[in-house]
Homo-oligomer: A and B are copies of this chain.
Amino acid sequence: MTYQVFDTTLRDGAQREGISYSVVDKLAVARLLDEFGVGFIEGGWPGAMPKDTEFFARARTELQLRNAVLVAFGATRKANVDVTRDPQVQALLDAETPVVCVVAKSDIRHVERALRTTGEENLAMVRDTVAHLVANGRRAFVDCEHFFDGFRYDPDYTASVVRTAFEAGAERVVMCDTNGGMLPSMITAAVQDVVARTGVGADRLGIHCQNDTSCAVANTVAAVEAGVKHFQCTANGYGERPGNADLFAVVSNLQLKLGLKVLPDGCLEKATRVSTALAEIANIAPDTHQAYVGAAAFAHKAGLHASAIKVDPLLYNHVDPSVVGNDMRILVTEMAGRASIELKSRELGLDLAGHPDTLTAVTRKVKDLEAGGWSFEAADASFELLVRGELPDADFVRPFALESYRVQVEHREDGSVVSEATVKVRVRGERVIATAEGNGPVNALDEALRVALSKHYPELKSFELADFKVRILEGSHGSNAITRVLVETSDGARDWTTVGVHENVVEASWKALTDALTFGLARTAANAGQGSAA
């Protein structure tokens, strides 16, 4: 029997603080999850959430899934209501998904105190709902809420919910660690006990873990090791409280550590890209320290390691980063020595092995700048400009020089807020003054600079400010804070990131912006040169 990779990023994952998907977002998330090769995509709760109802309606015409089937999530029928007259159950059928997953109470205390009904009626609710879904041609999965607490408190009752669901025709019954309090050893013991007490094979059970003990991934893996073949995860572990089991870590562990085939061929390599894309859609900064897929997951910092890594990378990585589509990035930091800087430069196509003096100069400069709050870890383009500026045979010339700028933000009496910037720069021997407005001080500055440079560098038009991140350093006293700005720029084909640091957020932004344009123009010039030479 094959494994069922069940993703609930769009339902349970959407409960994470700060996440709010539009319907278009949800469609994009589903496409990415399908590309990653999950078998089931739980899309939401039709009927309860208007956006979810719309998602399922649009999915019928707008989603072409290759690997996954869509799942509508809902609850068992209300107590003391005919299942055919329960509008919430009807909404599940109206979603027209091949699979429906219903949540059921399986802890007798929740039945009596939260649902305020009897154990018998709760069993009838499970039985009626599952039978109704199956009679209407649906595959029915049952999520047993607070399963492990319920099973510990009253194993007979919880076991009776499991048996009732299967008797009514459920395909899977999922053991949910709803409050996330379990440890792996407890999961192992519980699965064995559930199998013994219900007579249901572990391969017909599912697992759904929350991360409240920081063990959601390990708990999910433990359940699979105990014979469970259906596991519910969310991308990047998004979910309520500390979140859910992270899809990427669970799948990577199962495939790479336990040798289980849970995804179609060629999918695991997409993990890093899909993880980052889903973070962007969720509008959550990607967790650089995430296992397997984080930007720092295979990044080596300490000078000790960096010099040894040159000898034999696989001595230091637990898996080859490329199997999850990741990279062994070398960080440039105060702890890193010459070896790191050399490796990093080589990554960027700059061989410093033959330039020991340049290597010394760059190493010293990086250490000095980082002592002042700069960070090149995420700003490869600024690092490359720094190295190129130190190379002896530099044909590299900065495309413009600043004389001065002035930015103004006004909140007027009528409530309007306006920003205006004036820059004075020298471009190819010419002194240019330009003024522009913007929706904020940095935008105004960016616009004014573009106006000033557009005559000499029309290619600037294709550069777009793709992301702008502000970080306040030394945050313990607002007034002494240093601001670090990261700017990501795109020319449609390629992205690059630059950094600026200053106590003034406008000046920090200016530095990052000028690096961004300088880097982009230098690259365009180099490409043009290559083109004509070829």
- Chain A residues with a Cβ under 8 A of chain B: 15-18, 20, 109-110, 113-114, 146, 179-181, 183-186, 211-215, 217-219, 221-222, 225, 240-243, 246, 249, 252-253, 257-258, 280, 283, 288-292, 294, 296-302, 305, 308, 311-312, 315-319, 331, 333-335, 370, 375, 377, 402-413, 417, 419, 439-443, 464-479, 481, 483, 502-507, 510
Contacts and interface: CB of A to CB of B under 8 A. Distances in A.
A503 B413 contact: no
7 closest Cβ pairs, A-B complex: A181-B318, A218-B218, A465-B478, A214-B249, A470-B470, A214-B291, A179-B318
A338 to B, nearest CB: 16
Contacts of A257: 181, 183, 186, 213
A377 B240 CA distance: 13
Given A17-B333, A507-B411, A240 B311 contact: no
A208 to B, nearest CB: 15
A184 B181 contact: no
> Which of A214, A222, A291 has the most C-beta atoms of chain B within 10 angstroms of its own C-beta?
A214
B183 A253 contact: yes
A467 B334 CA distance: 25
A404 B408 contact: no
Contact of A473 (B283, B419, B472): B283
A191 to B, nearest CB: 13
Contact of A113 (B114, B184, B311): B311
A17 B302 contact: no
A283 B476 CA distance: 9
Contacts of A510: 411
Contact of A472 (B258, B288, B370, B467): B467
A73 to B, nearest CB: 12
A253 B213 contact: yes
B240 A505 contact: no
29 contacts: A17-B289, A17-B299, A17-B331, A18-B375, A20-B334, A113-B311, A180-B291, A183-B221, A183-B253, A184-B222, A211-B291, A214-B217, A215-B218, A215-B253, A218-B219, A280-B476, A404-B412, A406-B409, A408-B409, A417-B504, A439-B503, A441-B505, A442-B505, A465-B477, A466-B477, A467-B478, A468-B475, A470-B470, A470-B472
